[in-house]
Structure 1
Amino acid sequence: MIDRRHFMIAAAGAATAGWHLPGLAQQVDTNRVLCGFPAGGTTDAVSRRVSEKLRSGFARVSLVENKPGAGGRLAVEELKRSAPDGSTLLMTPAGMITLYPHIYTRLTYGIQDVTPVCTAGTVGFAFAVGPMVPESVRTLRDYLAWAKAHPDRASYGSPGAGTTPHFVGALLAKESGVELNHVPYRGSAPGVQDLLGGQLPAMSSPIGDYLPHLRSGKVRVLATSGAKRSRFLPDVPTYTEQGFKALEMVEWYGFFLPPKAPADVVERAAQAIRAAVQSPDVIDGFAALGIEAGANTPAEMSRAVREETVQWQQIVKRVGFVPEA
C-alpha cells in the first residue's frame, strides 16, 4: 500500500532468473479464480487477463468466478473454505486482506486464512474535481481553499466506505485541517458519473477511472498518490509535491491460495502468474486500466501483507474511522 518496494519485478530481470512454467504433468485440471467484484470492473478485468494465461501451463482449464458482495469479502470467505490443491485462487486488491481487519469488527477471516502467492500489478489513486467546482480551481490547494469557503459543498466521493481511496480523502482532510464530507458509492462508476454530471464536486478514486474522461474537459485531476508522478498522468503533481507526504500510497492486486497450501503448489502458481504478468498483451491491457503490471515472490508478498496490515491499523486509528460490524 505505502510503496512499491515489495512487489515490482521487471520482466527483463525475470527472464534472467530462470523462471519457467510448470510441466504439463503438474497441471491442475480445472482452476477457478475467485473475484469479489462484478463482471466488467477493474478487478474482474485483471482476473480475466491473468486467468487466460494460466491455461497455458498451470491449469488445463482456468475460469473466473465472480462472487460480488460485502465489498469483496464473500470471495475471501469462499477461498478460506476451498481445498489448498491449486484448484482455487483468489485475485483481490490488497485492502480486502490488509485493511478490512481494522474496519470490520465481525470479519470472518484474517491474514492467517490466506496464502500469498504473488502480485499482478499496482494502482495509484487520484483526486479529481468536476463541473461543480469553478474553473479557477486548478491545484489541490485551490480546491481546499474553495472547500473551506463553501463548507456546504465541501465533499468528495469514493468507491465505497472503508476503501483505500476513502482513506486517501480522509487523510487529506486530516492533514489539511479542512473538513471534507465523504460520500461513499457502490463502486467507482456511479461516483465518476455524478462527478461528470456536476452532482459531486470531487472524487478520490483509482487513476484508471478518470482516463476515459480526460478529453471531455469535465474532469480536472489535481493530485496523484504515488511516490513519483504517474506515467498515465505525467502533468499532474503528486500529493507529496503539494505538501501531503502522508498521502503517498499505492495499492497492489494480488493472488492468494487457500490456507495451508503446499509450498510446491504456491511456487507453481507464482511462476505461472509471473509469466502471465510479463506478457506484452497483459502489460498493455493493464496500462489501459491505469495499472502497472508487476509480480513478486511468495515471500515478498507475505512480508508486504504483514507490514501493510500494521500500517493500516495506524492509518485507521489516525483518521478516527469507526469500525463497522
Structure 2
Amino acid sequence: MTNNRRQILQLALTGLAAGMPLIGRAQSIENLKIISGFAAGGTVDTLARRLATHLAGPYAKSAIVDTRAGAGGQIAISALKTSVPDGGSLLVTPMSMLGIYPHTYKKLPYDPLTDLTPVSLGVVFDMGFAVGPMVPATVKTVPEFLEWCKANPNNANFGSPAPGSVPHFVGELIGRAGKVDMRHVGFRGSQPAILDLIGGQIAAVSAPVGEFLQHLSGGKVRLLATTGTTRNKFVPGTGTLIEQGMKDMVFGEWFGFYLPGKASADVVAKANAAIRAALADKDVVSGLAAMGLEAKSSSPAELAAILKTDTEKWGPIVKAIGFTAES
C-alpha cells in the first residue's frame, strides 16, 4: 500500500470513528465574532457576552463580542451582511431592526429576508417605562406622569434606545393614550438613555425591563409600568399598562441570532445546536434573568415565522403613528 493510500484510509477511518462521514464534515471555527449593534452594558450586549463565553470551546476555539453601535442597530446588521458565511460571524439583534424598520425607512442598507439567515431566538422580554429625578417622587404611575407632562410641557419628553424601535413606539403610544405630545429623544442603546435619565437631562425612558434593574435600588430611576399581559416576574411590584387603564397596551420583544444570508444549511444547523445548548445552561439562564431576560431558543424556521408575524403586526401600528425615519 502506498503512502498516499494509507493516508486516505487513515482519514476515512478517523471520520467514521467520529460518527460522521468525512465528506461534508463541518469545518472547525477558529474565531467567532458575535456582532452587537448596541452599547456595552445593555441587554443586547449582555446576551452577546453570555453566549460568547459558552460558545468558546464547543462551537469555536475563541469567541468575542464585536460592538458596532450606531444607526439604531443598522451598522451591526450591515457588518454581518458583508461577513463570510462560514459560521464565524453571528449577529444578535432586537426584532425592531428587522420587523419594524422596513415600515419606517424608505431604504435600508440590508434586506432582512435575503441578507440574513435566521438561526435561533435568544431571549424574550417586556418593555418598561421609567422616570428619573426630573419628575417629582409623587408621580408613581403612568397616568400621573402624563398629568405631570400636561402641567410641564417643556419637560414632556422620553428617551429610547433607537428611533423606530419597539421602545420608541411604546412611548409614543403612551403619550397618545394620554393625549400628551411627548418629545422623543433617540439614543445609541438603552444605557446611554438611562444615564441621561439619572442625570436629569430627560424625564422618562422607554426600554426593555432588564435595562432598568441595576438602577432601581438607587432610587434615581423609578419604574412606572411594564408592557406584558401580566406583571413582569422580575419586577412584580410594578403594575402593567393594562392595570393602569391603558387598554390593549401589550408589547414585548425578542433578540435573535442570525448568520449572513448565504450561510449553508450545515452551518446554520451547527450554529443553532450550539446556541440552543448554551441557552439551556443554568448559568446562562440565571445570568440573563439578572438582566430581566428570559432565555428562549427556537429552530431557524420558528424564528423566521415569528419575524413574519411581528413584521405584519407592526405595519398598521407604524402607519397609525405616522412615523418615518425622515420625520
Name the TM-score class by shorter chain.
0.7 to 0.9
48-57 vs 289-298, which moves further: 48-57
1:300 is aligned to 302
Judge which range, 257-266 or 293-302, deviates more. 257-266
Provide the C-alpha distance between the structure 2 equivalents of 1:268 and 1:178, rounded to a whole number of angstroms. 49
Match of 1:195 in 2: 197
Residue in structure 2 matched with residue 322 of structure 1 by the alignment:
324
* Aligned amino acid, residue 163 of structure 1: S
* Cα shift at 1:27: 5.1
Which of 168, 189, 192 is matched with 2:170 structurally? Answer: 168
SS in 2 for 1:99: helix
Partner of 1:3: none
Residue identity in the other structure for 2:253: E
**Residues 1:197 and 1:323: Cα distance change in structure 2 (over 3 Å):** closer
The residue number in structure 2 matching 1:8 is none
RMSD value over aligned CA atoms? Answer: 2.2
Structure 1 residues 64, 212: closer, same or farther in 2, change over 3 A?
A: closer
Single out whichever of 245-254 and 302-311 deviates more from structure 2.
245-254
Structure 1 match to 2:149: 147
In structure 2, give the amino acid aligned to 1:255.
F
More divergent stretch after superposition (113-122 vs 144-153): 144-153
Q: 1:134 & 1:67 partners in 2: Cα distance?
A: 36
Question: What is aligned with 2:84?
Answer: 83
Partner of 2:60: 59
Cα shift readout 1:53-108 (whole Å, capped 9, x = no counterpart):
22333223333222233222122112222233322211111112112222222212
Would you say 1:107 and 2:108 are equivalent positions? yes
Map of 2:251 onto structure 1: 249
Measure the CA separation in 1 of the matches of 2:146 and 2:40.
36
CA distance change for structure 1 residues 118 and 236 in 2, over 3 Å: closer, same or farther?
same
For residues 230 and 244 of structure 1, the distance between their equivalents in structure 2, rounded to whole angstroms, comes to 16
Partner in structure 2 of residue 185 of structure 1: 187
Q: What SS is found at the alignment partner of 1:315?
A: helix
Matched, 1:233 2:248: no
Task: Give unpaired runs (5+ residues) of structure 2.
Answer: 1-18
Please show how residues 269-284 of structure 1 align to structure 2 within 5 Å: 269-284=271-286
Shift of 1:274: 0.7
CA deviation after TM superposition for structure 1 residue 159, in Å? 2.1
How many residue pairs end up in the alignment? 304
Do the aligned partners of 2:43 and 2:291 also contact (CA within 8 Å) in 1?
A: yes
Distance 1:317 1:233, change over 3 A: same
CA contact (8 A) 2:125 2:208 kept: yes
What runs of 5+ residues in structure 1 fail to find an aligned partner?
1-21
- Structure 2 counterpart of 1:143, one-letter code: F
Distance in 2 of aligned mates of 1:90 and 1:183: 26
Cα 1:161/1:274, change in 2 over 3 Å: same
- Alpha-carbon distance in 2 for matches of 1:68, 1:192: 16
Asked whether the 8 Å contact 2:71–2:188 carries over to 1, the reply is no
Kept in 2, the 8 Å contact 1:58–1:269? The answer is yes
1:262 to 261, 264, 269: 264
Q: Does 1:26 align with 2:30?
A: no
Q: Give the Cα–Cα distance (whole angstroms) in 1 for the partners of residues 237 and 41 of structure 2.
A: 29
| Alignment check: 8 A CA contact 2:36 2:76 kept | yes
CA 37–150 in structure 1, closer or farther in 2 if over 3 Å, else same: closer
Cα distance in 2 for residues equivalent to 1:47 and 1:193: 21
Which has the larger Rg? 2
Shift of 1:44: 2.2
Report sequence identity in percent: 45
The TM-score normalised by the length of structure 2 is 0.85
Q: Are the structure 2 counterparts of residues 57 and 27 from structure 1 closer, same or farther at C-alpha, using a change threshold of 3 Å? A: farther
Deviates more, 1:56-65 or 1:157-166: 56-65
Q: SS in structure 2 opposite 1:240?
A: coil
Question: Would you say the 8 A contact 2:228–2:252 is kept in 1?
Answer: yes
2:6 is matched with none
